Amino acid sequence: MPEPQYTIEPLDPKVHDRSSFRNEEKALESYIQTQARKDAKARASICFVLTSKSAPEKILGYYTLSNASIDAASIPEGEQR
């Protein structure tokens, strides 16, 4: 079985270059560059990043997990997915 080319790991500002992350959705760029670390420090969420084995400092993508929730009934019907 071939060695995986990618790694998913918690965001580490000492390793991962948040300033170079680019996305069509500017809010996603802004979040990882300015807010993700603050949210993790406040224990509001944790951010995981996707990097390649060949360039572990470059963030290719990310996702966050939070213990907060939203009641689906409070979302307008046209906005639900």
pTM for the structure as a whole: 0.79
Q: Mean per-residue pLDDT for 16-36?
A: 95
What is the Cα gyration radius of the chain?
Answer: 15
**pLDDT at 81 > cutoff 70:** no
Is residue 50 within 8 A of residue 32, CB to CB? The reply is no
- pLDDT value, residue 49: 98
Residue 19, number of CB atoms within 10 A of its CB? 9
